[in-house]
Amino acid sequence: MNAMGRHSQSSPVSPQAQTEMLEILSFVNEFSDELESALDIIAPNAPLRMALHLLEGHFEGKTVTPTSLISASRAPYATANRRMKEMVEDGLIELRPRTRTGKTFSMHPSEKLLSQWVQLSSRLRRLSESRFGGQTSPQGTRDYYFGGSYAAAQSIPPLRVRKDPLKVPGGIRVLVHGDPTFMVMENLKRQFEQVVGTEISQRAFSIDRLREEALRNAKREVSRYDIVAVDLPWIGEFADKGVLMPLDQVMDLARLDPADFHTAGWKAAHWDGRAYGVPAQTTPELLFYRRDMFAEAGLEPPATTDDLLHAARVLHNPRRGQHGIAWNAARGTALGHTVLMTLADFGQPILDLPRIAGGFDTDHLATGAYRATIDTEAGLQAAEFLMELLKYSPPDILSMSWYERIRPYAAGTIAMAYGYTLLAPYFELDESSPAHGQTGYLPHPAGPGASPVAPVGGYVMGIPANLSPDRIPAAVEALTVFTSPEAQKLYVQNGSRTNPRYSVGADPEVRRMSSIFEAVDGMSWRDELQFWPRPPVPEICGIIQICGEEFHDMLRGITSPREALRKAQDRADALIPPNRTP
């Protein structure tokens, strides 16, 4: 769908975010003025000036017309008009008809431009603070939420009952993953039924069975579910196979306030530039570590893979029933995820993605120009790291997966564990756990030359493409309620430790419940929250399975690291069709 025909995906933002955005826009405008007036060689940058004018109009609620946009460019009319058309073609500007005839248009920043500006503005703030210094808040906290002060953040109000109850036969039907966050939603079912005014029925499956059921449901003539939960790596496959409908086809995405979602979580919900789901959980995999154990041993929190191995070695004492670290090492899907994330720890994605500022580019995966990158020098470093990690792990590590790695950590027999934030309730809500109140949260420690990464996991909620048309309006309304800031705060208040929205992480009540929210927001602010470690291409589940099998043989001593890398590379190459390679 072209820019003129698609619903705008721009969004209103909170007052504090809006003030921050306008301050940075003003700074860039004034800095451009200074450059152009001080140096004769520098001419006005027409696309930049027009982008700034568009964004300013968006945040201030002012109408921008083609005439005003060309005027703002400070370039000759013909040049400015040409640049404006190029920005429309590049998907940076959306045109909305102002009259019924459709002959006149207003100009608006697209979701793509807004997303790029959100990232740039946060980097500009960081650069200015790191280069020229900045104020430190009395509480010693950073202003992560677009520079807005958490201390001044307003508490998110409770969910309100809809004035018009949803009218849909049989109520809203939801397919979800059987994890703690979605189980919180199930426990709150009666409350949500009062809010939406109809019954809610929820089916929960394990991760592999959830994918199978979603694919099976897509083959039915009419969907059995109004809303389905989708693991982030499945987005490309589900979009290609027509499992999900693009949301801009049935709703105005501005209602969701996209700028409020963690950037990595919102981008991960997209395929080929279109949103196929709304983040319901943004749950990065972090390193959980026992602060008390580290303090007693005189250890600093690990920042590098070498630091982590040293800490694991020091804290590993099998004779006393204590082990250094636990991680996903069960054969197949579990270990496959570990392999992809460990590659990322050593600075390499599983695909040959182009490098960009702050990570790797995933915007053009739908073109198919990619290949697997497993049998590489970074791959060998990752494999050898896992072999070393094995020495300081519990004896049953090769059968440990999602929950098995966290339970012994919560029981106090493990000093460190890689785990998603959604699993933190196992020890945060259990006052009898030795890890309760003693857990620190870190991004994955980095290998040589790499940067710390907190690989984003979690689920989006989407609408099946084969949903009966008469049920779509109710599904859209329910989806909006389930993923709203009010609902997300309610999940946290009832035990969830996942959060896809900046505003929820900024809520004073939420921040008092767990240090995990401030930690994750800090990682997002520092560009450590990334979803490129598990790029959502259609073949990703197969690649994960392959890595989980070949590396398991390596960890069992059946194959060497180099042999495991070669076999995994060959199988991944065979999995990606020829049209998927450059």
Strands (E), 82-182: 93-97, 105-109, 172-177
537 pLDDT band (50/70/90 cuts)? very high
Domains of the chain, start order = 15-132 (1.10.10.10), 172-281+457-500 (3.40.190.10), 285-451+539-580 (3.40.190.10)
Helix or strand (DSSP H, E) at 390:
helix 377-390
Label residue 145 by pLDDT band (50, 70, 90).
Answer: very low
Model confidence at 2, in pLDDT bands (50, 70, 90)?
very low
Looking at residue 62, its pLDDT comes to 74
What pLDDT is attached to residue 9?
39
Q: What pLDDT sits at residue 424?
A: 93
Res 137: pLDDT: 39
Instruction: Grade residue 307 by pLDDT with cuts at 50, 70 and 90.
Output: very high
The Cα 457–Cα 39 span in angstroms is 47
> Exposure string (b/e) for 396-422, b if CB count within 10 Å is 16 or more?
ebeebbbebbbbbbbbbebbbbbbbbb
Provide the CB-side half-sphere exposure for 567 (13 A, CA).
17
pLDDT at 144 > cutoff 70: no
pLDDT of residue 557: 97
Pairing assessment for the beta strands 459-462 and 414-420 based on DSSP bridges? unpaired
Tokens in use for 72?
């703002």
Which residue(s) pair with 460 in the sheet? 230, 279
The pLDDT value recorded for residue 141 is 37
Instruction: Quick: pLDDT tens for 254-284.
Output: 899 998 898 888 989 999 999 999 999 889 9
Q: Kindly state the average pLDDT of the residues 375-395.
A: 98
Report pTM.
0.73
**pLDDT for res 1:** 36
Helix (H) or strand (E) holding 204: strand 200-205
* pLDDT recorded at residue 580: 54
Greater model confidence, 127 or 219? 219
Sign of CA dihedral 403, 406, 410, 413: positive
Region class of 357: left (phi > 0), else alpha (psi between -120 and 50), else beta = beta
Asked whether the predicted pLDDT for residue 15 surpasses 80, the reply is no
Q: What phi, psi does 574 have (nearest 5°)?
A: -70, -25
Rounded to whole angstroms, the Cα distance separating 374 from 377 reads: 9
Location of structure tokens 């589940």: 541
* pLDDT score, position 12: 43
At residue 407, does pLDDT exceed 80?
A: yes
State mean pLDDT over 293-321.
97
C-beta atoms surrounding 272 within 10 Å? 14
- Assess whether pLDDT exceeds 90 at residue 351: yes
444 DSSP 8-state letter: B
pLDDT digits (tens, 9 = 90+) for 241-257: 999 999 999 999 989 99
Tell me the backbone φ, ψ of residue 127, rounded to 5 degrees. Answer: -60, -45
Average pLDDT in the 301-324 region? 97
Within 13 Å of residue 263, how many CA atoms lie on the same side as its CB? 29
Burial class from Cβ neighbours inside 10 Å (0-12, 13-18, 19+) for residue 513 reads middle
Q: How confident is the model at residue 357 (pLDDT cuts 50, 70, 90)?
A: confident
Q: What is the pLDDT of residue 129?
A: 59
State what percent of residues in the chain have pLDDT above 70: 89
Query: Quick check: 165 pLDDT over 70?
Result: yes
pLDDT mean over 326-345: 96
Quick one: 369 exposed, middle or buried, by C-beta within 10 A (0-12, 13-18, 19+)?
middle
pLDDT exceeds cutoff 80 at 133? no
Distance from the Cα of residue 451 to its chain's centroid: 18
Radius of gyration, alpha carbons of the chain: 24
Three-state DSSP class for residue 89: helix
Q: Please give the pLDDT value at position 46.
A: 87
What's the pLDDT score for residue 127?
Answer: 65
Q: Is 532:354 a contact under the CB 8 Å cutoff?
A: no
Identify the pLDDT of residue 44.
82
- Tallying the residues shown for the chain, one arrives at 582
Closest CA to 423 of 155, 550, 305, 414: 414
Distance, CA of 300 to CA of 303 (rounded, Å):
9
pLDDT at 114: 78
% of residues, the chain, pLDDT over 90: 58
pLDDT in tens, 479-491: 999 999 999 999 9
pLDDT tens, 432-464?
999 999 999 999 999 999 999 999 999 999 999
Query: Residue 438 and residue 448: Cα distance in Å, rounded?
Result: 29
pLDDT band at residue 17, thresholds of 50, 70 and 90?
low
Query: Tokens in use for 315?
Result: 């804290």
| Position 154 confidence tier, pLDDT thresholds 50, 70, 90 | low
pLDDT surpasses 70 at 8: no
pLDDT of the residue at 409: 97
Distance CA 45, CA 432 (A): 61
Residue of higher predicted confidence among 435 and 402: 435
pLDDT band at 5 (very low <50, low <70, confident <90, very high): very low
The whole-number pLDDT of residue 95 equals: 84
- More confident call, 195 vs 62: 195
Judge whether residue 136 has pLDDT over 60: no
- Tell me what the mean pLDDT of segment 352-365 comes to: 88
335 closest CA partner among 391, 269, 387, 282: 387
The overall average pLDDT reported for the chain is 87
Give pLDDT tens digits for 80-108: 889 999 999 888 888 877 666 667 778 88
